């Protein structure tokens, strides 16, 4: 006898029924399988198909939502700007555009988005960003408009690596922006500012190299701008040792290509100094420059220091430089390659008295001196500038000297340039004078014509006003006669009964005013030339009506 087939203890349908929430003790929401009528006819295959269909529908919906969330329209603009893959950009234009976009978005973003961006993209990458050609602008923007907490974190990391970053072109700009903002709000970044001050005031071998470094000297210029009080005084004392002073390290800032920029900054900030100690040190530096000006004007870089004094220096220093040094040395200075630039600036920034003295004592003292300056390859430029700033009297004398040299054929190539410049400039001045005189006469003629026209117009308007006023008086008399007749018809008239007549006028004043306004508008429409005087006409109208009523009452 064969063994019977084994009987399944639990079928597929039984397992499904046992897994239902009400049978398993689960608190999950009941599904379609909870319906007893439907659950009896479901098979295992149908349930599998339904579950597979639900999985496919869920995957499609999930993919759609994923695509929606990845669009920039549903992201904060600041975050989407920082999530852009910078490595995928190749052209300079795209890199610059994306950097500017991030700066703009950060400036307009809310604090929550700023916090997310800083913690996600900035905090762990500050050093690399400060060295980047485009991303260092982002750090500058955060330092400028961000909260003090983020600013201090950026500056702390940069100052920890300042020996490397201070000579980098882009990181140096970040440091300068940090100094500028810290000077505006020193309480928010006291530790960071003091840390930088301790570094820059060391005066060790590394700092001395920065004085003449192409990038490092920018830090000292910015420090001179933002420092004040004791920090500025100490920095000026250190720099004073290396400006026209004998020092063991043989560092001379005034003749160096980049060191002279630090000296120019000292000249620039002197008028703004308040502290007397620092002001005294800066003044001593400038006085030494004035005493050595004869040498400095002939040097390739130090001549810019003398030009800085002429342009932005204090009046006392400028006067000493012009009267005691430059006027005596003008001829030889003008014939120098670099000194001629200083000579031009001296003529431009001096007054007419100094130019007159220069002409009489140095330039035109002899024909030989004048010819030497005019024919020189460098001095001819200051001579042209001198003629340009001369008054008409001295221009005539200048042209007389040139005329003699031209007729005697004593002008070389450079002298002929001065001659042509003088002739062209003279003709230009004459043409400008003729043009100005013509414009002035034309303006006067226009004013005279306008005055005549206005007088004629006013006379016409006055005549029309008189005619209209006469017509207006006639209308008032007619209205007055009409009102009297009307009153006499209604009541018995007695000559002494003026009180009754006044009462009658008050009662019928509205009708009387309307009639007068209608007559006034008719007169106004008849004459278009009375349009500018319509307000005066209305005032006269009201005054006449009041006078009429007052006369009747009296």
| pLDDT tens digit sequence for 50-62 | 666 666 766 665 5
pLDDT class of 544 with cuts at 50, 70, 90: low
- Higher pLDDT pick, 452 / 72: 452
Question: Mind listing the pLDDT tens digit for each residue in 138-168?
Answer: 999 999 999 999 999 999 999 999 999 999 9
pLDDT class of 185 with cuts at 50, 70, 90: confident
Question: Mind listing the pLDDT tens digit for each residue in 95-107?
Answer: 777 888 888 889 9
**pTM over the 0.75 mark:** no
**Do you know the residue count of the chain?**
554
Question: Mind listing the pLDDT tens digit for each residue in 218-245?
Answer: 999 999 999 988 999 999 999 999 999 8
pLDDT class of 121 with cuts at 50, 70, 90: confident
pLDDT at position 58 is: 60
Contact status, residue 78 vs residue 106, Cβ threshold 8 Å: yes
Q: What percent of the chain has pLDDT over 70?
A: 60
pLDDT at position 203 is: 86
Helix, strand, coil % in the chain, rounded to nearest 5: 75, 0, 25
pLDDT class of 40 with cuts at 50, 70, 90: very low
Least confident of 5-9, 12-16, 172-176, 292-296: 5-9
Which residues neighbour 219 within 8 Å (Cβ) at sequence distance 6 or greater?
166, 172, 175, 176, 200, 210
Contact status, residue 358 vs residue 371, Cβ threshold 8 Å: no
* 3-state secondary structure string across 44-108: HHHHHHHHHHHHHHHHHHHHHHHHHHCCHHHCCHHHHHHCCCHHHCCCHHHHHHHHHHHHHHHHH
- How far the first Cα of the chain sits from its last, in Å, is 152
Question: Mind listing the pLDDT tens digit for each residue in 449-508?
Answer: 555 655 555 555 555 556 655 665 566 656 656 666 655 555 554 444 555 555 655 556
What's the mean pLDDT in 112-126?
Answer: 90
- pLDDT of residue 33 exceeding 50: no
pLDDT at position 6 is: 46
What's the mean pLDDT in 378-395?
Answer: 92
- pLDDT of residue 210 exceeding 90: yes
pLDDT at position 229 is: 87
What's the mean pLDDT in 372-388?
Answer: 94
pLDDT class of 545 with cuts at 50, 70, 90: low
pLDDT at position 274 is: 84
Q: Map tokens 């005054």 to a residue.
A: 543
pLDDT class of 380 with cuts at 50, 70, 90: very high
pLDDT class of 435 with cuts at 50, 70, 90: low
pLDDT at position 391 is: 87
Question: Mind listing the pLDDT tens digit for each residue in 271-310?
Answer: 888 889 999 999 999 999 999 999 999 999 999 999 999 9
Question: What gap in Å lies between CA 395 and CA 220, rounded to an integer?
Answer: 46
DSSP per residue, 300-359: TTTHHHHHHHHHHS-HHHHHHIIIIIITTTHHHHHTSTTHHHHHHHHHHHS-HHHHHHHI
Query: Which range scores top for mean pLDDT: 120-129, 242-251, 461-470?
Result: 120-129
Mean pLDDT, all residues of the chain: 77
Backbone angles phi, psi at 78, to 5 degrees: -65, -45
pLDDT at position 441 is: 67
- Higher pLDDT pick, 479 / 200: 200
pLDDT at position 272 is: 86
Question: Mind listing the pLDDT tens digit for each residue in 498-543?
Answer: 555 556 555 565 565 666 666 655 655 555 444 444 455 455 555 5
Contact status, residue 176 vs residue 219, Cβ threshold 8 Å: yes
Question: What gap in Å lies between CA 201 and CA 181, rounded to an integer?
Answer: 20
């Amino acid at each position: 006898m064969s063994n019977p087939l084994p009987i399944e203890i639990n079928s597929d349908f039984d397992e499904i029924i046992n897994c239902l929430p009400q049978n398993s003790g689960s608190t999950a929401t009941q599904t379609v399988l909870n319906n007893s009528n439907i659950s009896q006819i479901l098979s295992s295959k149908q349930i599998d198909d339904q579950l597979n269909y639900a999985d496919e529908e869920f995957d499609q919906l999930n993919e759609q939502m994923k695509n929606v969330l990845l669009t920039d329209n549903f992201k904060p603009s600041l975050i989407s700007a920082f999530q852009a893959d910078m490595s995928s950009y190749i052209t300079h234009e795209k890199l610059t555009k994306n950097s500017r976009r991030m700066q703009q978005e950060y400036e307009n973003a809310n604090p929550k988005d700023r916090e997310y961006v800083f913690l996600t993209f900035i905090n762990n990458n500050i050093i690399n960003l400060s060295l980047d050609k485009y991303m260092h602008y982002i750090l500058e923007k955060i330092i400028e408009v961000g909260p003090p907490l983020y600013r201090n974190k950026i500056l702390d990391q940069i100052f920890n690596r300042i020996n490397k970053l201070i000579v980098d072109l882009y990181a140096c700009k970040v440091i300068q922006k940090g100094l500028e903002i810290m000077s505006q709000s020193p309480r928010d970044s006291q530790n960071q500012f003091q840390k930088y001050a301790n570094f820059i005031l060391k005066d060790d071998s590394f700092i001395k190299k920065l004085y003449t470094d192409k990038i490092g000297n920018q830090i000292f210029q910015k420090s001179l701008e933002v420092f004040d009080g004791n920090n500025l005084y100490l920095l000026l004392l250190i720099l004073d040792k290396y400006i026209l002073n004998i020092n063991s390290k043989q560092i001379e800032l005034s003749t160096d290509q980049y060191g002279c920029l630090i000296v120019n900054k000292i000249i620039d900030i002197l008028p703004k100094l308040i502290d007397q100690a620092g002001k005294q040190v800066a003044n001593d530096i400038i006085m030494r420059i004035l005493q050595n000006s004869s040498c400095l004007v002939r040097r390739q870089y130090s001549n810019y220091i003398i030009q800085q004094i002429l342009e932005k220096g204090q009046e006392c220093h400028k006067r000493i430089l012009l009267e005691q040094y430059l006027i005596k040395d003008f001829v030889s200075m003008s014939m120098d390659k670099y000194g001629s630039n200083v000579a031009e600036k001296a003529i431009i920034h001096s007054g007419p008295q100094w130019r007159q003295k220069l002409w009489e004592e140095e330039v035109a003292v002899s024909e030989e001196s004048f010819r030497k300056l005019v024919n020189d390859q460098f001095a001819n430029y200051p001579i042209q500038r001198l003629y340009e700033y001369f008054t008409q009297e001295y221009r005539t004398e200048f042209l007389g000297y040139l005329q003699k040299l031209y007729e005697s054929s004593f002008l070389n190539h450079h002298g002929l340039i001065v001659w042509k410049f003088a002739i062209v400039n003279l003709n230009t001045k004459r043409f400008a004078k003729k043009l100005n005189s013509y414009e002035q006469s034309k303006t006067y003629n226009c004013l005279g014509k306008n005055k005549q026209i206005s007088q004629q117009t006013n006379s016409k308007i006055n005549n029309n006003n008189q005619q209209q006023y006469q017509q207006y008086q006639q209308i008032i008399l007619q209205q007055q006669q009409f009102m009297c007749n009307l009153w006499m018809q209604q009541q018995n008239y007695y000559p002494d009964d003026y009180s009754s007549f006044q009462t009658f006028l008050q009662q019928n004043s509205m009708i009387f005013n309307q009639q007068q306004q209608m007559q006034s508008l008719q007169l106004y429409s008849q004459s278009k030339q009375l349009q500018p005087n319509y307000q005066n006409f209305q005032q006269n109208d009201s005054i006449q009506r009041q006078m009429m009523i007052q006369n009747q009452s009296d």
